[in-house]
Amino acid sequence: MKHTSPFCERGSMRVIILGTGALGCLFAARLAPHAEVWVLGTWREGVAALQREGVRVHEADHIWRASVRAADDPAAVPVSDIALVLVKSYQTERAAAWAARRLAPDGLAVTLQNGLDNGARLIATIGEERVAIGVTFEGATLLGPGEVRHAGRGPTYIGIHPAMASRARAFVSLLREAGFEVHATRDIEGMLWDKAVVNAAINPLTALWRVPNGELLTHADRRSLLAALARETVTVARARGVALPSPDPVAHVKAVCRATASNRSSMLQDVERGRPTEIDSINGVIVAEGRRLGVPTPVNEVVWRLVRGIR
């Protein structure tokens, strides 16, 4: 951080969490003892619960609570060092506009959202030198307004580039202080596509068949479509020049199904609540990239259209 940064003047970082959903609540609760945390969202009940009672986090063996500040109007939030973007990918443009209004000139917006196109959409509004793209494998389920189950621990990766390296590293340190397993990486593309392989296979199929993740392995037809989606996505990623960290991506997807067997995927939860889904930012981007690179993606295209057609 430069010395003009409000972070240095105050002695602690000010973080806006954009999004009142499961991951927004989890990150807000864990960061609250280590930074001045504001949660900014459009869900009135969620914001009201956070203002009244803070976040309630259900861990495997205990429940704990953290006080946070919350608002539904960006004008109510002070200028901040970090805007951690955890809204659904169909809300990224609004989050970008809000972050642009409340970020310090040397602040940093960090996306940990599902999907492949959020970074580019944030950069379009906020500028490349003020955006860090990340991926998180933390698992969380929203139980109600301001109430979250920490369903599983997993690593978080933050992409670093020279224009913002010191600010991104300061945020990585803060996340570590808050107890997250965080890795700074110069190759966030690999991690982003690695997660996209998982999301492109598991999320639409669980949403279409309305089953928890583990049920995708219980039937030969389900396993076959799961593998076809994963393989197509891997082919697009490789054609793009992405080095995927998993040596066997299909085995990796199946391992995630087993590890999260009782989870209802985020896309299934969206469909069950009658909300829009993140299908465009996951399978939709894979289809578009496939077209651009001359890689056929018929299975991704069919599930993309099937999920878009759910009403």
Residue of the chain from 91, 118, 260, 300 that contacts ligand KPL (CB under 6 A):
260
Dihedrals φ, ψ of 120, to 5°? Answer: -60, -35
With respect to ligand KPL, which residue has the nearer C-beta, 7 or 137? Answer: 137
Told to check if 92 binds ligand KPL by CB under 6 A, we report: no
- Give the residue numbers marked as catalytic: 195
The distance from CA 18 to its chain's CA centroid, rounded to whole angstroms, is: 11
CB of 26 to ligand KPL, least distance (A): 13
Q: Between helices 249-259 and 220-239, what is the axis angle to 10°?
A: 130
CB of 108 to ligand KPL, least distance (A): 24
Told to check if 89 binds ligand KPL by CB under 6 A, we report: no
With respect to ligand KPL, which residue has the nearer C-beta, 1 or 229? Answer: 229
CB of 154 to ligand KPL, least distance (A): 9
How far is 38 from 99, CA to CA, in rounded Å?
12
How far is 266 from 88, CA to CA, in rounded Å?
10
Q: Enumerate residues 191-230 that contact ligand KPL by CB under 6 A.
A: 198-199, 202-203, 213
How far is 306 from 311, CA to CA, in rounded Å?
10
Told to check if 135 binds ligand KPL by CB under 6 A, we report: no
Pairing between β-strand 80-85 and β-strand 36-40 as defined by DSSP bridges: unpaired
Pairing between β-strand 36-40 and β-strand 14-18 as defined by DSSP bridges: parallel
How far is 148 from 142, CA to CA, in rounded Å?
4
Contacts with ligand KPL by CB under 6 A: the residue count is: 11
Residue of the chain from 266, 277, 281, 300 that contacts ligand KPL (CB under 6 A):
266
* SS3 of residue 5 by DSSP: coil
Told to check if 114 binds ligand KPL by CB under 6 A, we report: yes
What are the residues binding ligand KPL (CB under 6 A)? 114, 198-199, 202-203, 213, 256, 260, 263, 265-266
